[in-house]
Amino acid sequence: MSGAVSTFVDKLRAIVGDKGLITDEAGKRPYLTDWRDAYLGKALAVVRPASTEEVAGVVKLCAAEKVAVVPQGGNTGLVGGGIPLEDGREILLSLGRMNRILEIDEIGYSMTVEAGVILKTIQETAAAHDRLFPLSLAAEGSCTIGGNLSTNAGGVQVLHYGNTRHLVLGLEVVQPNGDVWNGLRALKKDNTGYDLRDLYLGAEGTLGIITRAVLKLWPKPKDVATAWIAVPSPQAAVDLLSGAHAASEDNVTSCELMGRQGIDLVLAHIPGAADPLAERHDWYVLLEWSSTRARREGAKETGLREKMEGYLGEAMEQGLVLDAAIAQNETQARALWSLRENHTEASKKEGPSIKHDISVAVSKIPSFVTEGLAAMRKALPECRPVTFGHVGDGNLHFNCQAPQGWDKQRFNAHAPAISGAIYDLVVGYGGSISAEHGIGLMKVDELAHYRSSIELDAMRAIKRALDPQNLMNPGKIVRV
């Protein structure tokens, strides 16, 4: 360590103490690589403050010494946003020790939390108070609310509750100069000028560090019906969803689409995974309805399950459903969900893949899938398409698994052709090249290519105005 660096590290230690500082290479390592092992960064130190005051002190020091700061929560991001650059001149600021639930307001349906609270803890705390925090995604056991807010995460219930942006009332944010903005307002209505809160949601740590948040809560559902449905095509999936809104009395809370290729990967790599249906099919829907009205148990049970059964029966007669299994209890429902949620894990175990986290209008999904699969095969005939995702809100993970036996280097040589073809198609459909994962490092060039100069200029102007020294997660989202 050079003298200047060791002095800087000593100043950090004076703010966060020994418990809040990691400087040895082995200790830093888990923070410097991402969930997919796609990026490996370097950092002067990993700093783990325990309070907003400590975050503010660290950021103030960094502003004075012109050291850039990369915030990190659970490090489950899929676009490299939480990984420092390779030059080793940044610090990694982990929010993991700021993990307290500060307040629950049952009457006002809100919860105030620190940024490092794990999403699952928030869900469980809400449930213990007969409330629901509806953000739900496969990484919920390790991602943090600060990361969710900073990526404006989506997940499996967006069609009903909205993405993270819609689940938050107020924020506290440490500014790039170390000042603390207290926007922890629990207000449903607040039209007092520009919405600063919205700026930080999805900013991926490039404008400031989120330290606390006031989250919205909903009543906890008392009746849930979950079905695993084989459908003949993505068109049938979309038609099934369209009718389900009215049939469920507007209680559709999840609608996920999966192609057979992804199911095969899950069955091959995830211990205990089992196909719920007797025959193989090309496409599947995981449909969930939830209501706050409790089931009426009795001789003739009435609830969402019976209603769903009736709807799927009619849909089968119309040719929209080939076969289906409705979960009879929570354990069965969990098993169905685990087939869906393990797609990413199974794909990682299988080998290299190229991810396309895209969205188009729900009604355009069927033709997009047809054209997209053709475009992928044209770019690389041996590729193995793996399509799954949140069809209910128009977001597909339109991924491409490497041909069997190919290594990362050989496969990645084809990435520009494959991704270019998919993104051109998405943009032609008026869609988004990043529906829920963000831009991070992975899509900086794509954003610059596909967004208009008006949008890019506005983004750069905001970045320069709020972070004039470019010390907040530089190089992510837009280059300035």
For binding to ligand MLT (CB under 6 A), which residues are involved?
Answer: 138, 343-344, 355, 357, 389, 397
Query: Which residue of this chain has its Cβ atom nearest to ligand MLT in the complex?
Result: 344
Site string for ligand FAD, 417-456 (x = CB under 6 A): -------------------xx--x----------------
Interface residue with ligand FAD among 151, 291, 347, 353 (CB under 6 A) is 151
User: Cβ of residue 346: shortest distance to ligand MLT, in angstroms?
Assistant: 10
Using CA atoms, how far apart are residues 312 and 244, in angstroms rounded to an integer?
A: 9
User: Closer CB to ligand FAD, residue 81 or residue 394?
Assistant: 81
User: Cβ of residue 395: shortest distance to ligand MLT, in angstroms?
Assistant: 8
> Does position 121 bind ligand FAD by CB under 6 A?
no
**Class of residue 373 by CB neighbours under 10 A (exposed 0-12, middle 13-18, buried 19+):** middle
251 and 289 Cβ atoms separated by less than 8 Å: yes
Alpha-helix residue ranges (DSSP H) falling in 129-282: 145-151, 158-161, 196-200, 234-247, 260-269
User: Closer CB to ligand MLT, residue 307 or residue 355?
Assistant: 355
> Does position 155 bind ligand FAD by CB under 6 A?
yes
3-state DSSP assignment of residue 282: coil
User: Cβ of residue 39: shortest distance to ligand FAD, in angstroms?
Assistant: 11
Using CA atoms, how far apart are residues 85 and 475, in angstroms rounded to an integer?
A: 8
3-state DSSP assignment of residue 83: coil
The one of ligand MLT, ligand FAD, none whose footprint includes residue 397, by CB under 5 to 8 A per kind, is ligand MLT
Using CA atoms, how far apart are residues 223 and 392, in angstroms rounded to an integer?
A: 20
The one of ligand FAD, ligand MLT, none whose footprint includes residue 210, by CB under 5 to 8 A per kind, is ligand FAD
Site string for ligand FAD, 179-218 (x = CB under 6 A): -------------------------xx---xx--------
User: Closer CB to ligand FAD, residue 150 or residue 175?
Assistant: 150
Q: How are strands ordered across the β-sheet holding 21-22?
A: 21-22, 45-47, 90-94, 68-72
Interface residue with ligand FAD among 52, 112, 121, 150 (CB under 6 A) is 150
Using CA atoms, how far apart are residues 169 and 218, in angstroms rounded to an integer?
A: 13
Alpha-helix residue ranges (DSSP H) falling in 81-233: 119-128, 145-151, 158-161, 196-200
